[in-house]
Amino acid sequence: MSEAALLTIDRAERVFGGGRTIFGMPKPAVHAVQDISLEVRKGETLGVVGESGCGKSTLARLIVGLDRPTGGSITLDGRDIAADAGNDPRALAKKVQYVFQDPVSSLNPRKTVRTILTAPLVHLIGLGKKDQERRLEELMEAVNLAPEFLDRYPHEISGGQAQRIGIARALAADPEVIVLDEPVSALDVSVQAQVLNILDGLKSRFGLTYVFISHDLSVVESVSDRVAVMYFGRIAEIGPAREVFANPRHPYTHLLLQSAPAPGRKSLVPEDANTELPDPYNPPPGCAFFARCPNATHKCKESHPPLEAKSGEATHLAACYHPHGGEEE
């Protein structure tokens, strides 16, 4: 682990299903996340982008301890997240928080905003009554909402306001890391910008670290310091956001950017490409992008290329035998 890494993912894998039936027949298994290794440094935003079904949400759930890896490990500050989620979930929740995609349904419809935000203050921080009031006001101010909203129910506020409450709830525990899973995808574009601005301000104000998951390239480009491009459960490419967007090495990243040219890329990872994804119950031995790749050779079909630097830039890695814009293997 490099000195500054806060979050370290080491060969993480999550397989759903598998094993054997009572008759000894193998049960099908989905490899949702395979062999993912990366580090997130304190204070940075790692964007994770990929099309539907590539494993983004599974990865997010592993990072916050809502699910545990079937292989490899994920550590925060050197502590194993899956172990902490089992032994001391409150301590873990004080360090890492999750913001969900659908803001309204992520809030309990029968509870006021005040009750929703008070819960983590009491259960995670153990704040007394007087301090709760002060902290509630601070949280509302942080997400730019008037204190009157504290007495509303989720159905009485807009989607953007609900997402700000979701962010305030994540902030309540004063965490180090927030995993944002498609936090603006359900919002109108004008509201998206407001929420992204708030997130940006909170990050510098509270020294937060973000893992920002989205299938929207323009959003990821605008918020990320580094970007990981996922394809079929694996990292296809990872590097500084500027590098990855200006000089994509993996043919998949290249394809994504070609279909969404800058500036103001219009900008969703193609959902219809799903039909071309390999069968998740039967992952291919080689590169999963093989069938769609203009550069593919026999070697790509036979073995999976390692994720490694393809040029002088040691922080820009791609899992490809025939990367764009450089030497080939």
Which residues make up the interface to ligand ATP (CB under 6 A)? Answer: 16, 30, 32, 50, 52-58, 215, 280
Nearest distance from C-beta of residue 282 to ligand ATP, angstroms: 12
Nearest distance from C-beta of residue 11 to ligand ATP, angstroms: 17
Rounded distance, CA 292 to CA 160, Å?
Answer: 37
DSSP per-residue codes, 266-287: --BPPGGGGGGSPPTTS--SS-
Give the CA distances from residue 100 to residues 20, 164, 232, 300, in Å, rounded to whole numbers and listed in that order. 34, 11, 22, 36
Name the strand (E) or helix (H) holding 16.
strand 5-17
The smaller minimum CB distance to ligand ATP, of residues 56 and 169, is found at 56
The smaller minimum CB distance to ligand ATP, of residues 30 and 150, is found at 30
Nearest distance from C-beta of residue 182 to ligand ATP, angstroms: 7
3-class secondary-structure state, position 237: strand
Cis peptide before 306 (omega within 30 of 0): no
The smaller minimum CB distance to ligand ATP, of residues 56 and 254, is found at 56
The smaller minimum CB distance to ligand ATP, of residues 37 and 52, is found at 52
Nearest distance from C-beta of residue 269 to ligand ATP, angstroms: 9
CA-based end-to-end distance of the chain? 28
Give the CA distances from residue 278 to residues 7, 196, 231, 282, in Å, rounded to whole numbers and listed in that order. 30, 34, 11, 8
The smaller minimum CB distance to ligand ATP, of residues 43 and 278, is found at 278
Nearest distance from C-beta of residue 300 to ligand ATP, angstroms: 21
Nearest distance from C-beta of residue 220 to ligand ATP, angstroms: 13
The smaller minimum CB distance to ligand ATP, of residues 120 and 166, is found at 166
Amino acid letter at 145? L
Rounded distance, CA 149 to CA 192, Å?
Answer: 20
The smaller minimum CB distance to ligand ATP, of residues 63 and 170, is found at 63
Residue 314, exposed/middle/buried by CB under 10 A (0-12, 13-18, 19+)? exposed
Nearest distance from C-beta of residue 283 to ligand ATP, angstroms: 10
| Adjacency order of strands within the sheet including 234-240 | 96-99, 177-181, 209-214, 45-49, 226-231, 234-240, 317-318, 308-309
